Structure formats: C-alpha cells, structure tokens
C-alpha cells in the first residue's frame, strides 16, 4: 500500500494539489487548493487512483460501486474496473440525490460508495441515504483525500488513501495577504 507521501507527490504532479494563495468559494483564503479534475482528465492517473481505492475494499465482496456526480463518476468507474464489478452514479435531484438513467440497487446488494474528497461528508451522506432507502448493504465509503482529519462519522466504515488538512483564513487574518502574495481564483 502506498503511503501518504507518495499520494502527496502524485497529486502535486497531476496538478490536483496546488500551493499558492487562493480565494475559496466561502470567501476565505488558503495556501492550498485541491481539485481532482486534472487527475481524472488523465486516464492512467484515474486508473491508478481507482486501483488504490479498490485495494482498500477488495475483501468486502462488493457487487456495485456508487459515486456522486460529477466528482465520483470516473472514480466509481475505475474502482469498479479494478474490482471487476459494475459502477453506477447518483445525481442531484433538488436538495437530495437520486438514481436516474435506469440505475437502481436491489435489497441486500453489496455496495461501495466512493468520492474524491470529503470535507463535510454532505454529498456522500446523500448517496448513503438513497442506498439505504433501496435497502442495499453498504460495506463502506472509499475516499482519495479525507479533509476532515478522520473526524467525519458516516455510520459505515470510511477508508481514505490520505488525510489532508487544508487551513483557511479570513481575509483580515490571512498571512499570505500580509506577505503581499497575489490572490488566485483557482476554478476560474
């Protein structure tokens, strides 16, 4: 199993983890920014991440991997490829998530839910809710980067390739502003 240092190096090389001075959507400032789209745009990187998450759950006899759209779609596909099972995804439906496109789970189906990163666990919790509504047997949640420092409790086993703390500051209290570093809007 690869260690935290390996994944930090890979995520930096793929352009997923950036260092600088960033304006977050919350209005806070941070010296680090995490965006997984650059890795999922590289098929080999996506496959490597999917294999590593699959490895964490290979003894769970998973039948179906479920990811939330958009961030979890390619990851679910790659984890499912590594496990030799199917993948489906859930989509926003108002305030909740739903299975569309004919996707469904049966009662007792052994499911793994995956997501690129969790910070509050909100979108993963919404996927768990619809898996439970279908009476599926959720064996766990697989994450690339746990940003909660292991603090989130989703009621099922959570395993992550790495834990990552990303400190943020109010503009008044930002050490990078005091250094006069230019502020970036990373998703623009």
How is residue 25 annotated by DSSP?
T
> Which SS3 state, helix, strand or coil, does residue 136 take?
coil
Angle between helices 43-56 and 73-83 in degrees, nearest 10: 60
CA distance 54 to 12: 22
Residue 174: CB minimum distance to Zn ion, A: 3
Output the smallest distance, CB 24 to Zn ion, in A: 10
Residue 185 CA neighbour count, 13 Å, CB half: 4
Rule CB under 5 A: choose which of 47, 156, 177, 186 binds Zn ion: 177
The answer to whether residue 85 forms part of the interface with Zn ion (CB under 5 A) is no
Ramachandran category for residue 167: left, alpha or beta (phi over 0 → left; psi -120 to 50 → alpha):
beta
- Contact between 33 and Zn ion by CB under 5 A: the answer reads no
> Closer to Zn ion at the Cβ: 70 or 177?
177
Contact 127, 66 (CB under 8 A): yes
Shortest spacing between CB 166 and Zn ion, in angstroms: 14
Among 70, 134, 154, 176, binds Zn ion (CB under 5 A): 176
Closer Cβ to Zn ion, 157 or 175, answer by number: 175
Contact between 73 and Zn ion by CB under 5 A: the answer reads: no
Instruction: List binders of Zn ion among 115-174 (CB under 5 A).
Output: 174
- Contact residues for Zn ion, defined by CB under 5 A: 29, 174, 176-177
């Amino acid at each position: 199993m690869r260690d935290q240092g390996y994944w930090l190096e890979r995520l930096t090389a793929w352009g997923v983890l950036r260092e600088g001075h960033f304006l977050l959507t919350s209005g806070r400032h941070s010296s680090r920014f995490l965006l997984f789209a650059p890795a999922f745009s590289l098929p080999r990187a996506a496959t490597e991440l999917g294999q590593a998450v699959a490895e964490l759950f290979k003894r769970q006899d998973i039948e179906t991997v479920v990811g939330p759209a958009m961030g979890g779609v390619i990851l679910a596909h790659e984890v499912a490829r590594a496990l030799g099972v199917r993948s489906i995804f859930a989509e926003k439906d108002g305030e909740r998530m739903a299975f569309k496109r004919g996707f469904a789970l049966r009662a007792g189906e052994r499911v793994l839910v995956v997501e690129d990163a969790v910070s509050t666990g909100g979108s993963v919790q919404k996927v768990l809710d619809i898996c439970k509504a279908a009476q599926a047997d959720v064996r766990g949640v697989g994450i690339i980067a746990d940003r909660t420092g292991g603090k989130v409790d989703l009621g099922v086993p959570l395993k992550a390739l790495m834990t990552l703390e990303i400190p943020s500051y109010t503009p008044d209290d930002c050490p990078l502003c005091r250094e006069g570093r230019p502020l970036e809007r990373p998703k623009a």
